[in-house]
Amino acid sequence: MNFLGSHLLSVDQLSRDDLAHLSEVARKLQPVARREKVTRVLEGAVLASLFLEASTRTRLSFGAAFSRLGGSVLETVGLTFSSMAKGESIADTARVISGYADILAVRHPEAGSVAQFAQTSLVPVINAGDGAAEHPTQALLDIFTIEEEFAQRSRPVDGAHVLFVGDLKYGRTVHSLMKLLTLYRNMTFTLLAPEMLSMPDGVVGLAESRGHRVYPITRLPDDTMEVDVIYTTRIQRERLQGEQIEGYSRDYHVNRFFVDHMGGDATVIMHPLPRDATPGSNDLSVELDSDPRLAIFRQTDRGIPVRMALFSLILGVADSIESTFRDVRWHRLAANT
Ligand code: NCD
């Protein structure tokens, strides 16, 4: 896609070359993300961030990425605090806000709603999650993470075996990521979820039509396996429509036993976060927190260079950005990944 001035609404817009281009810009921006360099390349630009559904990391990381490029951030959170609670349409809201800002990042509980924002917005709109449908920027940071982790292991992503586990029906991050992974060659996908929370047919069909192997399973297999990536996601309780999750058993609980059974020494363990810490949730276990294969916080860190790269490409400053770098002047306590 031509990023300049474009909306990013779905990963369907992206090609393999686009992923490589984005990752290349993200790598160049790592010194800013790691607080070794500063830039003011977006000085004067304004991001309007509308999060009409719960969020911590996506909202803050969009804001941090834009701020670190020198721009300013306007925010509104929660439907109840916006004029949409007074009955304002998406069309009017988008037109109004786009008069205040140079780019919008929007999260909304309904699938397809962010595309409606784009219809009347005067400026580019980035989908920060639309219901159970998609979460393109999470998928981009997940791809960047997989690329970086595999590079550290001197392995190509092509030909990898990826295990998705958890709520694959309502988990929008797994929809977007699996679609992007179909752009690689010769992939194998194992999809571990209870029947009622299985991956949508459209995503499975896309992978199959591109020649990849897809194995949906509902229980942990008896035999051990050695997958390259374990990507787990919590049950999206806020989206359940009467599905019974009592049977959501230890088969989906990614703990040490699970990783020993399904993974190997080089397996990358990922999760978009948040992980559900409520008792009995069977989400990714804290047992794995000191396991070096657990990439979850490297993953969140990488949201910053990836979102900076996206802003830079859409707003047309990616090529000139390195020439604007200056050294930081404050005392840095810790560098991120
Ligand atoms: C995800 C989301 O909002 O879809 N979180 C995130 O943005 N990192 C996953 C989730 O909420 O489970």
The enclosing domain of 72 has a CATH number of 3.40.50.1370
Token reading at 185: 């060659």
Residues 160 and 293 in one domain: yes
- Indicate the number of domains in the chain: 2
- Residue 307, in any domain of the structure: yes
Tens-digit pLDDT string for the chain (337 aa): 999 999 999 999 999 999 999 999 999 999 999 999 999 999 999 999 999 988 889 999 999 999 999 999 999 887 766 777 778 899 999 999 999 999 999 999 999 999 999 999 999 999 999 999 999 999 999 999 999 999 999 999 999 999 999 999 999 999 999 999 999 999 999 999 999 999 999 999 999 999 999 999 999 999 999 999 999 999 898 888 888 777 667 788 999 999 999 999 999 999 999 999 888 888 999 999 999 999 999 999 999 999 999 999 999 999 999 999 999 998 877 666 6
- The predicted pLDDT at position 333 comes to 73
Residues 192 and 283 in one domain: yes
Q: Is the CB–ligand 1 distance for residue 132 below 6 Å?
A: no
Q: Is the CB–ligand 1 distance for residue 58 below 6 Å?
A: yes
Beta bridge partners of 268: 229
Whole-number Å distance between alpha carbons of 145 and 143: 5
Whole-number Å distance between alpha carbons of 129 and 107: 5
* 204: Cβ contacts below 8 Å, ≥ 6 apart: 191, 214, 216
Residues 128 and 41 in one domain: yes
Residues 127 and 208 in one domain: no
- The predicted pLDDT at position 292 comes to 97
- Residue 182, in any domain of the structure: yes
User: From the CA of 173, how far away is ligand 1's center (Å)?
Assistant: 7
Residues 76 and 155 in one domain: no
Residues 85 and 209 in one domain: no
Residues 290 and 264 in one domain: yes
Strand order, beta sheet including 103-108: 72-77, 46-51, 103-108, 125-130
Residues 237 and 149 in one domain: yes
Whole-number Å distance between alpha carbons of 245 and 48: 37
- The predicted pLDDT at position 335 comes to 67
Q: Is the CB–ligand 1 distance for residue 173 below 6 Å?
A: yes
Token reading at 314: 């859409």
User: From the CA of 119, how far away is ligand 1's center (Å)?
Assistant: 25
Residue among 107, 110, 130, 135 whose CB has most ligand 1 atoms within 8 A, to mutate: 135
Residues 104 and 194 in one domain: no
Residues 101 and 221 in one domain: no
Token reading at 147: 């690329």
Task: Note whether 55 and 107 are within 8 A (CB).
Answer: yes
Whole-number Å distance between alpha carbons of 237 and 241: 9
Residues 72 and 99 in one domain: yes
Tell me the C-alpha to C-alpha distance, in Å, between residue 92 and each of 15, 82, 96, 99.
Answer: 32, 12, 6, 11
Query: Per residue in 106-117, is it b (16+ CB within 10 Å) or e — as a string?
Result: bbbeeeebbbbb
Whose Cα sits closest to atom 7 in ligand 1? Answer: 58
- Residue 336, in any domain of the structure: no
From the CA of 128, give the closest atom in ligand 1. 7
* 28: Cβ contacts below 8 Å, ≥ 6 apart: 309, 321, 322
Residue with structure tokens 């009622």? 196
User: From the CA of 272, how far away is ligand 1's center (Å)?
Assistant: 6
Residues 294 and 260 in one domain: yes
User: From the CA of 135, how far away is ligand 1's center (Å)?
Assistant: 8
Whole-number Å distance between alpha carbons of 13 and 128: 15
Give the residue numbers spanning the domain of 165: 136-298
Residue among 58, 110, 278, 298 whose CB has most ligand 1 atoms within 8 A, to mutate: 58
